[in-house]
A = this chain, B = another copy of it.
Amino acid sequence: MSDLLIPRTASAYNYPLLIKNLLLYPVVDNPDQEIVYRDLYRGNYRQLRERVKRLANMLTGLGVKPGQTVAVMDWDSHRYLELFFAVPMIGAVLHTINVRLSAEQILYTIDHAEDDVLLVNSEFLPIMEQIRGRIDNVRTYILISDDGMTECSTIPACGEYEQLLAQASPEFEFPDLDENTRATTFYTTGTTGMPKGVYFSHRQLVLHSLGLLATLGSSTSHACLHRDDVYMPITPMFHVHAWGVPYIATMLGVKQVYPGRYLPETLLELKEKEGVSFSHCVPTILHMLLKHPLAEKIDLRGWKLIIGGAALSRNLCVESLRLGIDVFTGYGMSETCPILTISKLTPEMLELSHAEQAEIRCKTGLALALVDLRVVDSNFNELPRDGVSAGNVVVRSPWLSQGYLKDHKASERLWEGGYLHTGDVAVRDELGYLKITDRSKDVIKVAGEWVSSLELEDIVAHHPAVAEVAVIGKPDEKWGERPLALVVLKPTEGTKVTDKEIAHHVREYADKGVVSKQVVLVKVKLVPSIDKTSVGKINKVALREKYL
């Protein structure tokens, strides 16, 4: 076969796809463009490059070797952006620790990832206090501080980030690496068992950047990220590289704004003050932002916002559109780097009413370029694009985790049959728009038919008295399962509305025929709150334990 391959001249440079190339050879080389961290740092791309080189010297000076792991516990910051580049660029692995995990889980991931170096923001020292003395592998600690703290007793820090940076040389020649070198690792907070580690190579991160940019760039006005945008992440950088957007923003040379911890007031103030035009977040955060008094006072028009992590409800979508926010859905998961689909609209669709657009924007959308996404039945046959045939979502793309770290069995399950199994159940409409109807493990099977808990949640959420809802399947002798809707009422409605009224509201939808008849079997239970996972998703495992 080898004579089929392109012949290579001995001297010819066989260009590997490396993260350094996104920084060094970007779409736009914009040295004076700003990079902002809250009101604490205001630098530019020239400084970014210099600081990345200093950071490389700092880390190699501390003995970090290719293949070793550098872990970070920080809020979204310019420092995190620097680490996104410097750590993989010296051939090391960046472990982005999920700071919302429990201390015990954090200890588990530090141990499992075999972290050699740990950078810790002083705000997380209380967590470190809980696990001190039980970390075996970390050799070097570096303190990160926003308040001038340079020493602490909790960790044996070799110094503070800014001080060490200032001492390091600003010159560094980044080596060429094999493009399949591991660049990042982080842990998915599954609903069962301990967190599982996923990992991505340089090549995968470069291709995710180019693939996502092919979709976000090529639109004229809607769902686009262009060279004149201003970017601020509102999905944590420890969570799937903030969906990979910091890499793209850096390639584009746009102004970047890092907000630290997500406080609604800070986020809205930064949005206004810095002219932010592109962000991404989970629905819970969007909800929080829109409910904040500042939301009425500042101009949100033209803010492009990818929503992912959980289903965007039509109500929240319509409310966002009313405020002029270009809100749309992205779909993916930790295992997928993450983005697989985007709910981009055609120019004709953008002429529709907000309510009609919301139907499309709340779907998870169309596959990105190079993404082979299939909805299949249990025999792996692709299902018709008819908007009703629900099946498992399986996928191939150049940027999927090739397994779970040190977990052979789970890796094989993930990739059974050569496709990555997302664990999601979905339908596709005639135009190819994907709509996630359920997690395959969360499916509710009523009288042999699958009922979509997400669809049912959406219907319940339409009732004006409902603040939050989660639907789980309750074992039932007669029907196999019946849907159980756990409902949190709005505080003002607390005493006025009954579970029966909510159930009646659902049945009306069934009577109108807009949803399968099985939903009339719904039971409604009013609850004070709904359990969430560390990344803000509804924790159905916990809910089942509690209510079944």
Interface residues of A (CB under 8 A from B): 1, 3-15, 17, 21-22, 24-29, 66-67, 91, 177-178, 180-182, 199-201, 204, 207, 210-211, 213-215, 217-221, 224-228, 251-252, 347, 366-372, 396-398, 400, 402-403, 405, 408, 411-412, 414-420, 432
Q: Are A67 and B27 in contact (CB under 8 A)?
A: no
Apart from A4-B182, A6-B204, A220-B221: 11 A-B pairs, beta carbons within 8 A? A3-B67, A4-B91, A6-B182, A6-B199, A13-B415, A25-B371, A27-B214, A210-B214, A213-B217, A220-B220, A220-B227
Known: A4-B181, A217-B213, A217-B214. A12 touches B403 (CB 8 A): yes
A121, chain B: closest CB distance, angstroms? 28
Asked whether, in the complex, the Cβ of B21 is within 8 Å of the Cβ of A218, the reply is no
Residues of B within 8 A of A199 (CB): 6-7
Do residues B412 and A4 form an inter-chain contact, with CB atoms below 8 A? no
Once bound together, how far apart are the Cα atoms of A226 and B368, in whole Å? Answer: 15
Residues on B with beta carbons closer than 8 Å to the beta carbon of A432 = 29
**CB-CB nearest in chain B for A251:** B369
**Residues of B contacting A181 in the complex (Cβ-Cβ under 8 angstroms):** 4-6
Contacts of A215 in B (CB 8 A): 27
Most buried by B among A25, A27, A397, A420: A27
* A201 and B9 in contact, given A15-B396, A24-B372, A25-B371 (Cβ under 8 angstroms): no
CB distance from A537 to the nearest CB of B (A): 25
Out of B24, B180, B218, name the residue touching A6 (CB < 8 Å): B180
Whole-angstrom CA separation of A91 from B398 in the bound complex:
20
- Nearest 9 CB-CB pairings of A with B: A217-B217, A9-B403, A9-B411, A11-B415, A217-B218, A210-B210, A15-B398, A4-B67, A12-B415
Give Cα A6 to B398, complex, Å. 13
Residues A6 and B91 in contact, CB atoms below 8 Å apart: no
Q: Are A182 and B367 in contact (CB under 8 A)?
A: no
B370 touches A11 (CB 8 A): no
B residues in contact with A368, CB < 8 Å: 27
CB atoms of B201 and A26 under 8 A apart: no
CA distance A214 to B219 in the complex (A): 12
Least Cβ–Cβ distance between A422 and chain B, in angstroms? 14
Q: A11-B415, A218-B227 are in contact. Are A370 and B213 (CB under 8 A)?
A: no
* Chain B residues positioned under 8 Å from A227 (CB to CB): 218-220
**Closest B residue to A3 using CB positions:** B67
Give the residues in chain B near A415, CB-CB below 8 Å. 9, 11-13
User: What is the CA–CA distance of A170 and B177 in the complex, to the nearest angstrom?
Assistant: 43
Residue in contact with A218 in the complex, picked from B7, B27, B29, CB distance below 8 Å: B27
Which residue of B has the minimal Cβ distance to A406? B7
Assembly CA distance A22 to B371 (angstroms)? 10
Partner of A214, one of B5, B24, B251, B400: B251
Question: Which of A219, A396, A402 gathers the greatest number of chain B CB atoms within 10 Å?
Answer: A402
Residues of B within 8 A of A177 (CB): 4
B218–A9 touching, CB < 8 Å? no
CB of A228, distance to nearest CB on chain B (Å): 6
CB distance from A13 to the nearest CB of B (A): 5
Q: Would B182 and A416 count as touching, CB distance under 8 A?
A: no
**Alpha-carbon distance between A332 and B360 when the two chains are bound, in angstroms:** 41
**A225 to B277, alpha carbons, bound, how many Å?**
21
In the complex, what residues of B have CB within 8 A of residue A207's CB?
Answer: 17, 210
Are A5 and B182 in contact (CB-based, < 8 A)?
Answer: yes
